[in-house]
Amino acid sequence: MHEEADKKDIKQALVKHNEDPKSQETLYELGLVYLNAYKNNEAESVFNAMLKDNPDSIEAKWALAEILRRRHELDKSESILKEIINKNPKFSPAYISLSYIRYTKTDFRGASKLALYVIKQGRPTVDLTNYVRAYLLYAGAKGMIAHYGGPISKIINGTAVFPALETAQNLLPEYPGVYYGLGSFYLLAPEVVGRDINKAKEYLEKAVKADPFFADSYVRLSQVYQLKKDEVEAQIYLNKALAVDSGNELALDIKNGGCKFICTGQIKD
């Protein structure tokens, strides 16, 4: 159903839902389409309607937890997701949402383990987008572990990053998250591993074009311009990130100089 929702726009999902308005399946698909369009309030109404008819719906509970995550209510979301996983250990979307939360809380090892669990479930049992997200989360978390680790950690974890990104790219080459992952790699990787600011800019520009509501892409693009010593453009893109999502953890981290998610220094292009 996640794959079907990924193929539809809101109008198509509404038409299908109106054909069978009492169906949990058409409600769920409509809610997923709203989520894909970042219409979280509309999605919340749909998933609450699902719970009204079926209070035990794991799918609806996950979706409401995902909305809480997007609203940066991480602890509330995490509590629901843990409950879902305890009841249904094979429900992959819950692992993806919880992996995002662990990453945001800088528990990068926890994030990588959750993403790896979904990867090990295998493509036949996981919808394509969540399967790709798992590889992207795994790559991102491994990169952060390498960044904060010693020489051995940098070798073990750092070398896992690009193969995971390549796998994601092979599965969904035009997915905004893939562009973001590759752009972040070329931005943040050490020079000896493949840092390339021009490639970073290229991929991140594709990311914001493909998904104008994904705030993280604007933040990393802001860092690209910082490295190019264009502080005006850097500030413009950071402001765009906060305009899209005022509570975005990556944007606030960079804005406030926390550097939990890697700040970039001034280096020559």
pLDDT digits (tens, 9 = 90+) for 159-172: 999 999 999 999 99
Q: Is 40 exposed, middle or buried (0-12, 13-18, 19+ CB in 10 A)?
A: middle
Mean pLDDT of the chain: 94
- How are the residues of the chain apportioned to helix, strand and coil, as percentages rounded to the nearest 5? 75, 0, 25
Instruction: Please tell me the pTM assigned to this model.
Output: 0.94
Give the residue among 150, 151, 139, 76 at the shortest CA–CA distance from 103. Answer: 139
Over range 127-146, report the average pLDDT. 97
Q: Could you tell me which residues come within 8 angstroms of residue 128 by beta carbon, excluding any fewer than 6 positions away? A: 3, 6, 171, 172
Whole-angstrom distance, CA of residue 254 vs CA of residue 235: 11
Domains (range + CATH), the chain: 1-88 (1.25.40.10), 90-173 (1.25.40), 202-269 (1.25.40)
Distance separating alpha carbons of residues 36 and 229, to the nearest angstrom: 35
Per-residue confidence (pLDDT) for residue 5, from 0 to 100: 87
Confidence of residue 125 (pLDDT cuts 50, 70, 90): very high
